[in-house]
Chain A
Amino acid sequence: MSTETLVGTGINVFTSDTVAVGKIRFLDTPDEVLDFIEEPDVAETVVISRGGTTTFMSPALMAGVAGLITLQGAPESHLGILSREFSIPCVMSTTFTDGIQTGRGETIPADGSRVRLDISGDKGQVFLLED
Chain B
Amino acid sequence: MTEEIDVQLYLQKFQGKYPQGVEGDRQIRGDLPIPFIDTTDQDIRPSTLTDEQINSWLTYAAWNLWDFILGRASEGESGLIPRQEYETVSFVQQWSTYPRFVRILVDEIGVDGLLDLAKTSRREVGTKINVTRNWAASVCPILGRGIAVDLGFHDANSKREDLEELIQFGRRLQHGTWGDGPGFVSARGYQVPALDADVLASLVDQVRPLEGQSLKTFRRFNATTELFGFMLHYDCRAGMADTGPYRLPDGRFAIVRDHFLNETAYPWAGVAEGLPYAVSQVMVFPEDKVTATVNEIQTTFTRPTNYLDFLAEGVVFARQHMDTPMSQLRVLDDAEMTSIAEACHKGTLAMYRILARKPRDEKIRDGIMVYTREFLLSHASRVGLWDKFEAEGFDTLHENATRAWPVLTGGKAQEILTPVLLFGNGFPAVQADHAGGNRPA
Contact = CB atoms under 8 A, between A and B. Distances in A.
A52 B77 CA distance: 7
B237 interface: yes
B76 A55 contact: no
A55 B77 CA distance: 11
B304 interface: yes
A29 B258 CA distance: 31
A29 B77 CA distance: 12
B76 A76 contact: no
B301 A76 contact: yes
A61 interface: yes
Interface residues of A, number: 39
A78 B233 CA distance: 13
B265 to A, nearest CB: 19
A15 B290 CA distance: 13
A77 B79 CA distance: 15
A48 to B, nearest CB: 12
Contacts of B305: 12-15, 75, 84
Contacts of A127: none
Interface in B73-88: 73-81, 83
A50 B76 contact: yes
A71 to B, nearest CB: 7
B11 to A, nearest CB: 12
B72 A52 contact: yes
Given A55-B80, A62-B224, A77 B72 contact: yes
Interface size class of B (residues with CB under 8 A): 35 or more
B222 interface: yes
B223 interface: yes
Interface in B293-350: 295, 299, 301, 304-309, 345, 348-349
Contacts of B306: 14-16, 84, 87
Interface string A108-123: 0000000000000000
Nearest to B299: A81
B230 interface: yes
Residue picked from B79, B83, B353, B356, most chain A C-beta under 10 Å: B79
Given A54-B227, A78-B230, A30 B74 contact: no
B45 interface: no
A45 interface: no
A126 interface: no
Nearest to A71: B76
Nearest to B69: A76
7 contacts: A12-B305, A56-B80, A61-B227, A75-B301, A76-B295, A78-B237, A85-B308
Interface of B: 71-81, 83, 219, 222-224, 226-227, 230-231, 234-235, 237, 295, 299, 301, 304-309, 345, 348-349, 352-353, 355-356
Interface of A: 12-16, 28-31, 33-34, 49-56, 58-59, 61-62, 70-78, 81-82, 84-87, 93
